[in-house]
Amino acid sequence: MVHRPRLTRARLLAGLIAAGSFVVASGASAQSDEEGFPIDHETIRARCAACHLPDSEGRMSRISFERKTPEGWQGSLQRMISLNGVTLAPEEAREIVKYLSDQQGLAPEELRPGLFEVEKRMIDHRYLADTDVEFTCIQCHSMGRVITQRRTREEWELLMSTHRGYYPLADFQAFLRMGPTPDQPGPDGEPPDTRQPMERAVDHLSEVFPLHTPEWAAWSATMRPPRLEGTWVMSGHWPGRGALYGTVTMGGGGEQDAFVTRASYTFPGTGETVTRRGRGLVYTGYQWRGRSFESDEADGAMREVMLVERGMNEISGRWFRGDYDEIGMDVRLTRLAGSPVVAGVHPRALQLGGGEREVRIFGAGFADGVGPGDVDLGPGLTVNRVVSASSEEIALNVTLAPDAVPGGRDVFVGGATLAQAVVVHDGVDRIQVLPRTGMARVGGIVFPKGYQQFEAVAFDDGPDGRPSSDDDLELGPVEVDWSLEEYAATFDDNDIEFVGSIDQTGLFVPAADGPNPDRDRNRNNVGDVWVVATLVQDDNGDRPLRARAHLVVTVPLYLLFDAGANVSTGASPDPAASPNGRGSRTPGPNPGMGGSPK
């Protein structure tokens, strides 16, 4: 990455004054010779053509030369409504987003690297294809926004112009070089790159993310309305609550690509069972956007973002809620089509030693009258008897041989199999806190709290006895004692006294927003702390195992470009509900487009 000087606002203002009417050409604006997509949608032509003039081929300026996710198109419409005076009825907006997402969307292969963006995962993303371009873009937003779009070169140039027009300081924050033009060859001996950062970004993005790609050509040729009706076996993981297993039943939603759902799942670790009803709409033939509600109450509302795999037998993604979309679970659905499906085993980790134990297998389609001979848990594991059995759960009495070889076991049940469903180990050797770095936001008075859930995962060091080597066995989440420790970044800041607290499920709850009069210089309740997990093993007298993660407790966001929060999922089961837990907080100038309040 090119080193750039630190930019403070004071320096920035000085730069503005000195720069005066500093103008840099925004690059060639040659007419694109690529063909855009004709718009064959009456509402778009009626409501958008005043500005986006159609040509003789039915192509409309700008619109025809981009491809995006539903969230991307929704964001464009929101901007048109907010800043350009467009008025659209909610149903018109839904029509437009659906049409454009289907006709000018992304192929599954194109979306996959940017899934974290639409699934709202807080990850440490690295864009390695061009770190300078990454540097330019992530000054203000995630790189996920960029890599989930496709445009002609002219459109990428216009995107830059839009940024510069709406946010003039972007020139000095990211788009223009702060410093002299390089005039010396680089380390590789090549001539210096004298392009401005935004010119380099246009060059790169128009090459890597063009409008037309083989992936889109192939997908758009085979894309069709998905056939998802039926029963799906559900497995998932909710950090802090553990694994979950159940089923999802999907039925037609009354219009093309729309479905109604009923999900029922159990957390084996706690025994808690949850039932949800919801709706979903599939964009571009594979992008599931849904909302579901727990027991018809809005409080349990979750958004569902999933990807339907080719073949339509697997669906995976994330269900989430929270003001910052920070609470949720990973979900995988497998179609139940005649033969049984194994979703998982609880407990998954079986420690050597001890006598008989109970193991439960979760899934669906298990045959009546299953016997011990129908289940194979692998070498060293003997099924003594079936304790209870239903079509979705089999409880077994199992003996683990003292000399069983530690390692993962595939499980077979009546013709169904699940790889690495059980792991045999000889004790926990270390634990790790996930995520290794987390972020929470102060809130609760005016702005919402941003929570951070942590989880402790146990490991067996494996046959070589060395930690963090390739043969380590992951044993899954374990219950630990949670605590906070000071992160010694600044002398005597006592962050730990102000930032908030962590409960014994690993959920960090940040302190209140606003200046804190009890703190030096009225500082907010922000700070850096260690989140420490301690596992006391009482069976061998070993000293407790400890692990920790870095937690940043920081300031709120004061606006959310969260277009995804409102992407239509068909008719809401409860129009008065607050589907994402944002309560009745006043939206900005955007009239709700999704038919349900934020």
Partner 1 sequence: MALKPINRKADRMVTYLANQGDVPEAEQMAGPVGPAAGAVEGGADENAEDVVALGGRLPEVPEIPHIPLGCSLVFAPGWEVDEAGGTAGLCQPVERDLFDCHLACFWPAHVPDQLNHSPDWTGKCAAAQNDWRKLEMIFP
Residues 461-500 that bind partner 1 (CB under 8 A): 487-490, 493, 495
Strand, coil or helix: 207:
helix
139 in contact with partner 1 (CB under 8 A): yes
Tokens encoding 489: 């970044």
Sign of CA dihedral 128, 133, 139, 142: negative
Task: Among 562, 568, 569, 596, indicate the residue that binds partner 1 (CB under 8 A).
Answer: 562
31 in contact with partner 1 (CB under 8 A): no
Task: Among 23, 224, 558, 576, indicate the residue that binds partner 1 (CB under 8 A).
Answer: 558
Name which of 310, 250, 316, 289 is nearest 98 in CA terms: 289
424 in contact with partner 1 (CB under 8 A): no
15 in contact with partner 1 (CB under 8 A): no
125 in contact with partner 1 (CB under 8 A): yes
- Closer CB to partner 1, residue 384 or residue 490? 490
Sign of CA dihedral 174, 180, 186, 192: positive
Give residues 140-179 in contact with partner 1 (rule: CB under 8 A). Answer: 140-142, 144, 166-170, 173
Residues touching partner 1: how many (CB under 8 A)? 75
Give residues 566-595 in contact with partner 1 (rule: CB under 8 A). Answer: 585-590
Name which of 253, 250, 255 is nearest 276 in CA terms: 250
First to last CA, the chain: 39
524 in contact with partner 1 (CB under 8 A): yes
Give residues 188-227 in contact with partner 1 (rule: CB under 8 A). Answer: none
Task: Among 94, 151, 303, 598, indicate the residue that binds partner 1 (CB under 8 A).
Answer: 598
**Is the Cβ–Cβ distance between 149 and 68 less than 8 Å?**
yes
- Closer CB to partner 1, residue 1 or residue 30? 1
119 in contact with partner 1 (CB under 8 A): no
What's the closest the beta carbon of residue 579 comes to partner 1, in angstroms? 13
Name which of 282, 306, 283 is nearest 68 in CA terms: 283
- Closer CB to partner 1, residue 168 or residue 179? 168
What's the closest the beta carbon of residue 567 comes to partner 1, in angstroms? 13
What's the closest the beta carbon of residue 553 comes to partner 1, in angstroms? 7
Task: Among 26, 312, 561, 595, indicate the residue that binds partner 1 (CB under 8 A).
Answer: 561
Q: Please state the φ and ψ torsions of residue 411, each to the nearest 5 degrees.
A: -115, 135
523 in contact with partner 1 (CB under 8 A): yes
543 in contact with partner 1 (CB under 8 A): no
What's the closest the beta carbon of residue 11 comes to partner 1, in angstroms? 9
**Is the Cβ–Cβ distance between 509 and 503 less than 8 Å?**
yes
Give residues 98-117 in contact with partner 1 (rule: CB under 8 A). Answer: 116
Burial class (CB in 10 A: 0-12, 13-18, 19+), 357: middle
- Closer CB to partner 1, residue 167 or residue 252? 167
Tokens encoding 271: 């025994």
437 in contact with partner 1 (CB under 8 A): yes
550 in contact with partner 1 (CB under 8 A): yes
Measure Cα distances from 250 to 222, 266, 289, 575 in Å.
Answer: 23, 18, 14, 21
Q: Which amino acid is at 273?
A: T
127 in contact with partner 1 (CB under 8 A): no
Task: Among 285, 322, 380, 527, indicate the residue that binds partner 1 (CB under 8 A).
Answer: 527
121 in contact with partner 1 (CB under 8 A): yes
553 in contact with partner 1 (CB under 8 A): yes
- Closer CB to partner 1, residue 392 or residue 513? 513
Q: Can you list the pairs that 572-578 forms with residues at least 24 positions away whose Cβ atoms lie under 8 Å?
A: 572/279, 572/291, 572/596, 573/277, 573/278, 573/279, 573/291, 573/293, 573/296, 574/293, 574/296, 574/298, 576/298, 577/293, 577/298, 577/301, 578/298, 578/301
What's the closest the beta carbon of residue 529 comes to partner 1, in angstroms? 10
What's the closest the beta carbon of residue 598 comes to partner 1, in angstroms? 6
516 in contact with partner 1 (CB under 8 A): yes
- Ordered DSSP codes for 228-294: --EEEEEEEEETTTEEEEEEEEEEE-SSTTEEEEEEEEEETTTTEEEEEEEEEEEETTTEEEEEEEE
Give 282's Cβ-side CA count (13 Å radius). 27
Name which of 511, 537, 321 is nearest 429 in CA terms: 537
What's the closest the beta carbon of residue 287 comes to partner 1, in angstroms? 20
Q: Which residues of 478-491 are buried (b: 16+ CB within 10 A; e: fewer)?
A: bebebbbebbeeee
What's the closest the beta carbon of residue 522 comes to partner 1, in angstroms? 5
Treating both helix axes as pointing N-terminal to C-terminal, what angle do 70-83 and 90-103 enclose, rounded to 10 degrees?
140
Task: Among 8, 31, 87, 184, indicate the residue that binds partner 1 (CB under 8 A).
Answer: 8
Task: Among 123, 337, 405, 536, indicate the residue that binds partner 1 (CB under 8 A).
Answer: 123
> What's the CA gap between 282 and 396, in Å, rounded?
39
What's the closest the beta carbon of residue 586 comes to partner 1, in angstroms? 5
Binding range to partner 1, per CB under 8 A, among 296-304, 310-318, 367-375, 440-448? 440-448
**Is the Cβ–Cβ distance between 390 and 363 less than 8 Å?**
no
Give 459's Cβ-side CA count (13 Å radius). 19
- Closer CB to partner 1, residue 252 or residue 515? 515
What's the closest the beta carbon of residue 63 comes to partner 1, in angstroms? 20
CB-based contacts of 286: which residues, under 8 Å, 6+ apart?
Answer: 108, 223, 226, 307, 308, 309, 310
Give residues 80-99 in contact with partner 1 (rule: CB under 8 A). Answer: 82-83
- What is the contact mask toward partner 1 in residues 60 to 79, using x (rule: CB under 8 A)? ------------------xx
- Closer CB to partner 1, residue 305 or residue 547? 547
